[in-house]
Amino acid sequence: MGNERVYNFSAGPSMLPLEVLERAGAEITNYQGSGMSVMEMSHRSKDFQAIIDDAEKDLRELMQIPDNYKVLFVQGGGNMQFAMVPMNLFKNKVGDYIITGQWAKKAYAEAQKYGKANKIASSEDKTFSYIPDCSDLPISPDADYVYICENNTIYGTKYKKLPNTKGKTLVADVSSCFLSEPVNVKAIDFNYILQEDEDFKIVFIIFYTAIVYHIAQIVKSLNLEVPRHISFSGNGSKVIRVITTDSKLLARYTKMVFEKLLGKPYGKELDLLGLEKDSNPKESTCKGGIIGTEDEDNRDKTIVFKSDCTGLVTPKDTYANIKDDYKRRTVTAVEDFFKFVLVDMNSAFNFDKNFGVKPSSIRIAQEMAKKDLLTFLEKGISQRCEETEAEDMIEETFFYYPIKGVLNAISAEIYNELQQS
């Protein structure tokens, strides 16, 4: 054959363009004028860092990887990852595995050395000649991840659709199909899935509005100025992004909540921090609070607003003094909130048009908001009393206890209706 090129399309190593090989050969002894090969240079050098930076840049461009994803370059091949995955991702020490070939089988066996590995689906019964139905898998509630080998070169099978992991992290061995086709990385992001979900988004809108509503009540009660900035951090920012990543749209909605409760124009600009894709939600780490100016001695002051929205908690307000009348007033305050968000705000801001919420979900939310408020409240108070002394001053508002119960009920009812449709 002489110097003729062989066209090799193997499942593993395959043919490379001649110009790539020629450039690699030329740089094997002198990489871009550095006087050494890549194999000889320090991994801390500027030349090597440039290689890593360019590789990440190219990967992000080719795969359209969002900025909120990390790209990691790690040692070893696929076999080493069989151990590194459970060693790094095990929290509950539980992993769910879908066995579709020898590589998934080896990964499953390796994971058993570090914790509990569950075989939730397999095609071994027919010599791995098919991909199991992964639309409704028995995902373990405590699973840290779901593991697949996406492409099985030995048996010639490949996932045409990624498994429904029901919110669990998906780990995929893509050694033999990496960069062979477009991958919608966003579709693997549970937050992105929720952003596109018209059914369950109402749950997150109620959650967000409850926070803003309560802050507005405090501002009104203490005659404070409305905030110029509201910052969301950590998991809080991820939850809010489910509603929308358009900070200006959400700022308009937030200002409207304040305006309706205060009965006057907002009167200034409002910036919501932590929603943009290039923001760093860890820049602030508080779980929520009101920050005064530096000349106000409020930095270490805890403010607890009464759950019936009538003012601040005082030392006289103890867990022993929680009476039925106070519970009834709290339920009334929560009823007022649900009317505010599901009727008044929906009418004024149009959740369907602005946030993409199905009218059927709003209907379900309105129905669930009328049920079991007192039960949810008493359950929350009972659990809280088990953690405190009777004479302790009330440390947190009970306002959210019924709301939390209703949000769970809304989610369950939406899910039930979807299953029946």
Token couple for 118: 């569950």
* Residue 252: per-residue pLDDT: 94
CB 265 within 8 A of CB 259: yes
CB 250 within 8 A of CB 210: no
d(Cα 227, Cα 254) in Å, to the nearest integer? Answer: 11
Could you give the maximum distance between any two Cα atoms of the chain, in Å?
96
d(Cα 378, Cα 405) in Å, to the nearest integer? Answer: 11
* Residue 291: per-residue pLDDT: 44
Buried b (16+ CB within 10 A) or exposed e, 338-368: bebbbeebbeebebeebbebbeebbebbbeb
* Residue 194: per-residue pLDDT: 66
Token couple for 165: 């992991």
DSSP 3-state of 312: strand
* Residue 236: per-residue pLDDT: 67
Token couple for 266: 């907002």
* Residue 415: per-residue pLDDT: 83
**pLDDT block averages, 10 residues each, the chain of length 421:** 73 80 87 87 90 93 84 83 92 95 95 96 95 92 93 89 85 87 71 71 93 92 89 71 85 95 93 63 41 49 76 84 90 95 95 92 95 93 86 87 94 84 64
What residue ranges define each of the domains in the chain, with the CATH number in brackets?
A: 20-63 (no CATH), 78-188 (3.40.640.10), 195-420 (no CATH)
Output the CA torsion 63→69→74→78 (10° steps). -60
- Terminal-to-terminal C-alpha distance of the chain: 64
Characterize the bridge pairing of strands 157-158 and 151-152: antiparallel
* Residue 371: per-residue pLDDT: 93
**Dihedral of CA 44/279/300/393: which sign?**
negative
